[in-house]
Each structure stands twice: as structure tokens, then as C-alpha cells.
Structure 1
Amino acid sequence: MQAYRAALLHCLADPREVGIERSYQYFEDGLLLVENGRIARIGAAAELLPGLPAGIGVVEYHDALIVPGFVDTHIHYPQLDVIASYGSQLLEWLETYTFPAEARFADPAHARAQARLFLAELLRNGTTTALVFATVHPQSVDAFFEEAQRLGLRMIAGKVLMDRNAPDELRDSAASGYVESCALIERWHGKGRLHYAVTPRFAPTSTPGQLDLAGRLLREYPGLYLHTHLSENRAEIDWVKELFPERRHYLDVYDHHRLLGERSVFAHGVHLCDDECRRLGESGSAVAFCPTSNLFLGSGLFDLARLEGHGVRVGLGTDVGGGTSFSQLQSLNEAYKVLQLQGQKLDPFKALYLATLGGARALYLDERIGNLQPGKDADFVVLDCKATPLLARRLEQARSLAERLFALMILGDDRAVRETFAAGRPVHRRDA
């Protein structure tokens, strides 16, 4: 057992459902007890310290806030090297930057090196669970899971399925994609804290036959995820209409191939009609809100209120490398602005929910991660409230917890992450 003393903050429920005051728990001087990789107890330090067993070490953090590990519901690990490339629209971005970068993952050594760098960057930003695109190459998935397993992380990933409208070196076939996915699923799904996602890139790059086989994988292997893109860009939507003229709308393509359901996560969802929103809500599917990439690529503004009004589960995604930061604090900074432009407000406690428990709920992992409740995995982050002079000064002026939290999400970034823990183990120390 190990104890950690600092201010503690975590979400108990969605503020939209229970109200702000009942949605979180906060201890100004708190104690977090970890045992065998799980949260053992949480509470006020004054109450828990006297009852600690003899010999239990207490790590004290000053000017710090402990929160649950951040959850990223959409990100591309092969795009690490194209982040901050000069912007363009989505389809041009794929051809100019993404496809050439992904072709390099045919080399297992490159894949291993990138997996190490990518996961180190996630942890440096306090993200302990992510839903991750690999490439069409099976070795890209092996490299990612090997490194995630070494670090003891709860991660979800899968081989990209892409049998048309892509460079020759990045295409599989419907049959080979199915066979290679089966082998990867049997090798990795459920191993330690790892989960597998069936991953057709998006409808235009998979034939109907490949989408059928993707649905077959979901039925043959219970508990898998489905991870793909949906309605990110208007040119993309027009392309889908050309390729699937018999379908009513974009989501209907996936629905026809039986790809909607629990653990199906659709990235972006910027341009959805009411019927698509309703169907997503009814099916238990989730949508990843990726504000930095939607703004960077000029895709549009995500309508959070509309999707949640239809009961859609929403998580927060960075979408690196179209996204511009690994930091979920920076994602929340941009999310606030996206919603402001539409006359919607993003309360700081709702923001914390989206980055932690909301993301876990979108991934159907909220029984294991997402907050600091006893029995859950001990994935947590120590935030430094004096990470920069400006942040320290702003927090000194804050008159409430809500103000402090809002300042952290607007001014915070990787510099604010002092330590990151996964299953009770330190996996990143800023000052080490």
C-alpha cells in the first residue's frame, strides 16, 4: 500500500444528469491510498491518516491537484511525426502527410520506435488510456501493444482496414484484413489491460465486402471495439454519397454493415443529421469530440448539446496528428471556444468529466477507470498548480474551485503534469 497526499478532485457523474454540485468530489487536503494497482481508499487526510497501518509511506505534494488519468477517445499513433504540418482540408491532409507517414510502419523497427515515443508523449500529458489508430500493417499493432503492456497501460488499438482509395502500399484486401485482424485479436485482446478495436479507416477506404467482414469480427469476438471516422468534413460526406448512393446518409453505411453498438466509437461527428444522432444514441455508440483537429483542418464546430440531447455518449479526443496537442487540457481549452462560438457553455466540471469519467463511459470502461473510486485502477495524474508563473498567479487570484479548474484547462498543458501513474506505478515524472 502507498498513500498520496494532495488536493483531490474527481467526477462522480455527468453534470448534465445530476447537476454540478452532485457531479464531483473534492478534498482540499486529501489522501489517496493505492494497493495492488487499485484505489483502496480516498478521503480527507485528517480522517484517514490516523488509521493508516504502520510503515505505510505517504508521498506529499504541495501546490498540487490529483485527478484521474485522462482518457483520449481518438488518436493516431502513426501520425506523431506529422503533427503541426501546414494545414489543409481533410482529404488533402491524408494524401500529403498521413499516407506517406503510415507507409513507414512497414518497418517493424520504425513502428517500435514510434510506439515508444508516442506512449511517452501521452503519459507526459497525463493520458493513461487511449483509443488508438495504428496502420494497415500488423506489425504496427504488435509494436504498440508490446510497449503498452511493458508500461502496464490500459490501451485500445487495432489494425487499419483499408482495401481501396489508398496508396498500393497501404491497402490490404477484405480477406487479408480479416485474417490478420483475427490473429491480432487472439494475440492481444484481453491480455493484461489491453483491448482490441476493429478499425476500418472510414467508409470511403473500405469496400462493402470489407465492412461486412468488420461486422463479422465484432460478432465473432465479443467485447471488441469498433473505431472509425464519421462526418468530419463536408467533402468527405459528399464522397460517401457518391460511393454509397443507396444509403440515406453516412451513418447508414455503418449501420447497414452492423457496425453500430456498444463499444462503437465514431470520431468527429461534426456534420450529423437528427436521424444519425438519434440512431447513435439508440445503439449505445459513442462519438469522439476532437476540437483541435476540427479547427486546424477547418472541418467545423461540434454540437455537443445536440448529440447529448439524443443520448449519445461523448468522449474527448486529441486526434493527433490532425490535432495540434497531446494535452487534454489544451483540448478542453479549444472545446470551450468551439462551444462558445455556438452559444453553448462548457462548465469546468463538465470539462473534467469529458476528459476523465465521460471518456471512460464512452469506452464502456467506467467500472475500471475514469475516477478515483475505491476498487478502480489506480490511474491518476498529479497536476502542478505552479507549473508556470502565469498559472501560479492566476490560481492565487481564483475565488473558487471552479475558477481554479477553469484556469488549469485554459492555461495548462504538458508542463502542468508533474507525475502520471498507471495501475499504481509511476510511468512519468516531469522532473526526473
Structure 2
Amino acid sequence: MHGLHLTADLYGCQCDPALLTDETALAELCRQAVAGAGLSLVAQKYHPFPRWRGQPGGVTGACLLAESHLAVHTWPERGGVTLDVYVCNFSANNSPKAEALLDALLVAFAPAQQSTNRILRGSDEPQDNANELLLEWLNADCAYGFRATRRLETLRSAHQLLEVFDTPQWGRLLRIDGRYMTSERDEFFYHEPMAHAAALAHPAPRSALVLGGGDGGCSEELLKHPGLERLVLAELDAEVVRLARKHLHAIHRGAFEDARLALRIGDGLAYMEAQAADPQGERFDLIVLDLTDPDTPAHPLYGETALRVAGQLLAPGGALTLHIGSPVFQREQVARQLALLGRLFAHVRPFGLYVPLYGCYWGMACVSDTLDPLAVPAETIDERIRTRGIGALRYYNGAVHQAQFALPNFYRELLPGQGTPTC
């Protein structure tokens, strides 16, 4: 029963007025549009309404299609039309034909304004929610999405809603509270820069702390450095780790079984505060805040208290990396985060890259009181990759390391002291 449902509300139509009042003209338009789209007309029925207060009445009509239906309603007094197209995709993919039918009618009615909606209906396998469209909102006005062929697991943990899907585009995909976190086929766009921006700038990292990152992706990248002796993964939600171990091996690649990795389940800020308060507490060459977005319940970990404590846990020469949101869609949030980092650390190096799963240009930052990643030449980065025997990098190299810190002007505007961000 799965299919595509399209609706459109048209205003100020500048078409031949007969299309809004004459059932014969409207029927002929619909017949031609259906045939042109390659759909199969079974029957048509139209009903004209009488004149109203001296004005022509509208028409309501429907086309019964072998693939499903087309419904049309007109309001000549306001030049309005509503359209409803639905096709079943049981035996064939009729979605392109539905799109073509709607496009033909939009051209014919020539609206001054229009509002359209696209809805995926039903599923081949309802128990798995197959073929559902997964949408995420970048801000109040912009969303994007991917089709899922199968929902592998859904659960609400003590902290958040967790979902794992199979998708045609990205393979297995993890979503938390309705937001994309990581996927099998694009994870390297995110995890490699998050891990290696600081790890390759550092001459000899031996210890690392990953806060969040329960999918294991950042840990797997950091563990590629042979000199790394210990990595603490502090994840709030044990269910994220369980789902990753069960479904996302292509992302963590067995990192949870590495003897150097110590898993700590619980409040990450509490863990950092305990280490900072203990004179014998651990200090780290690298800290990665691999968290959900700054406008989620993880928000306190992006705040001044958490970042000050994280700074206290950095060993001499150490650096911290975090993502800060999209400079395109979350400009004010990025500006606030950069301003806070600038007050806390001597070196703040924001960088940017395109993350396909996130659908946009994404912002990250590497901060430290002593280590400046931009001061490390591309040749040094490439040499460290070779001498450390780091293989299987799909994104990162010396040239990329340098290039990612070159900010476009709209991103530079968000730096402290650059004035109010403009759209």
C-alpha cells in the first residue's frame, strides 16, 4: 500500500478562467495531464457549483486512476485551486509520474502563490516502518531528509529517544531525539576531523578523553595513533553503546574491544569534575566533546563551567576539539560558542567542513592554551600520518588539515570582535 501523496494549494491563478468554472474544460485539462504523466485514467467525475452572489461557481472533480486518484477543487472568486494526487507504488515506482502530473497542473493553473506538500504513505513492511522518510529540521524554516528501508531498533532510554535505520543512501544510521548522529557511509566526514585535527597537531599524544561519542567513531579514529596508551570514553547513555555494538560495527570497528579503551557510563561533567578535584586525577593530551548538538540536553557541556573543567584536565600541550553547529543555519549559536571559547582558551581555531548526513556546512573548533593546530604545516601532518602508520583515512591529510581552518567570510563574521552576525 505504500505510495506518494502530493497536495497543493494554489492562489491567484492566472490561467484561462474557464478552467476554474467549466467542468468540461477542467476535465479535458486533467485528462491530458494524466495521460502526459503516463498514468492510467479509469473514470472521471466533475460537479459544477451554481453561481454565488453574481459570481460563477467553482468545480469539484476527481479522476479515478489505476494507480490511485487525482482530486481538483476550484474557487474562481479568489482564483484558488486545491490539488490532491496519490499514487500507489506496490508493483512499480509511480512517484515520478505523480510529480509530473502535479507539475503539469501547476503550469496550467499558473498560480501567483502556491503551497505544496509531499507525504510518503504506507510501507512494504509496516512492522518495520520500511520506506519512511526521515526528516530533520536545521532550523525553524529548513528541513531535509533521507528514506529508510527498514527501522532496525527504536527505544526510549532514560535519557533520550534512540533509533537505528537501514537506509539506501547511508547504510545504517543512528538518530537521537530526531537528529542524525552518524551513519556507516559518511561517518569519516565527521569523525576524522574531530579526532585528527588535534591528534595530528600534537607531537606525541598518549592519553585521550572522549565525552559522549557512544557510537565509538571518534574513539576508533584516535586509537589509530599507536602512541596512544589510554582512552577514556565517558558516555551518558549505556543504550547508545549497546546499539552501536549491535548495529554499528562499520563505525566503531571493534574499538570497544581495544584494551586501551576504558568505558565510563554516566554524567560526563561529573566525571571531569571528579578528575579535576583529585590531585592524582587523570590529565589528557586530547579531549573530544563528541556530543549531541548545543541546543539539546547536552547544552551544559558546552557551557562555561564544563569547558573550564575540561581545560583543567588538559595536559601541557594538550588540545580540545568540539563541534559548534552550522555557521549557515545556526549562526547566533556558533557566534556565542566561539565568544565563550575565546574567553577561556588562548588559541581558538574554528574550522568548517561539509558533513553529508547533516546536510550542510558544519562548524568545529580546536582550542588550547598552548597548541595551535594551524601552526603545524601540511608536510608535518602528512609525515606524522606516515610515521604513525595511520591508514584507512578517507578524508584527512595535510592539505585538508590546513585548508579546513581557512574560513569563508560569512564564518569569519561570527568570530569575536567581528560585529553582529548578518544573514
Structures share fold, TM-score greater than 0.5: no
Rg (Cα) greater in structure:
2
Please identify which structure carries the higher helix content. 1
The TM-score, its normalising length taken from structure 1, stands at 0.28
The TM-score, its normalising length taken from structure 2, stands at 0.29
Please identify which structure carries the higher strand content. 2
